[in-house]
Amino acid sequence: MSVTVRPLGPADRDGWQALYAGYQAFYGFHDRPQGLYDSAFARLMAGDPRDFHGLVAEADGALVGLTHFVFHPNLWRPEGVCYLQDLFTAEGARGRGVARALIEAVYARADAAGVPAVYWLTAEDNYPGRMLYDRVAVRSPFIRYNRPT
């Protein structure tokens, strides 16, 4: 499978939403309100350099993966850091280099912006993803805590 990674564009709305809904479901969030997708897509299309950016992976004319990332300040790194928030590959395209291509594209964007530090989180039980991440990144020793809601 030949994969092309490119910026998310307005014409990608339907394919992007299908992938993003798949991502949400992968992490146990089903039946998300349409407003969540509308808002997220509008932010991705706004072109605000301080907000999220979107890339998609395309193969054979169909979207097969997506990633969303944001550059933000960091007190330890004056150049800032890049947070890769969302990464998803369609089920039928997994194991074919889509996620790796998306991660490498984010790395390239970060390098071009002069922000070499890129980080992300994943679920502890995301074993297939973690096998890739162990090859393309260094695992952090940090444990994440969330405020209870």
Condensed to tens digits (0 to 9), the pLDDT of residues 83-98 reads 999 999 999 999 999 9
Mean pLDDT throughout 34-62?
A: 97
What's the rounded mean pLDDT across residues 109-132?
A: 95
Q: Is residue 121 within 8 Å of residue 144, measured between CB atoms?
A: yes
Mean pLDDT score across all residues of the chain: 96
**Ramachandran angles phi, psi of 6, nearest 5°:** -150, 165
| pLDDT at residue 17 greater than cutoff 80 | yes
pLDDT score recorded for residue 18 = 97
**Cβ(83)–Cβ(70) below 8 Å:** yes
Residues 63-89: b if buried by 16+ CB within 10 A, e if exposed: bbbbbbbbbeeeeeeeebbbbbebbbb
- What pLDDT sits at residue 1? 76
pLDDT reading at 65 higher than 80:
yes
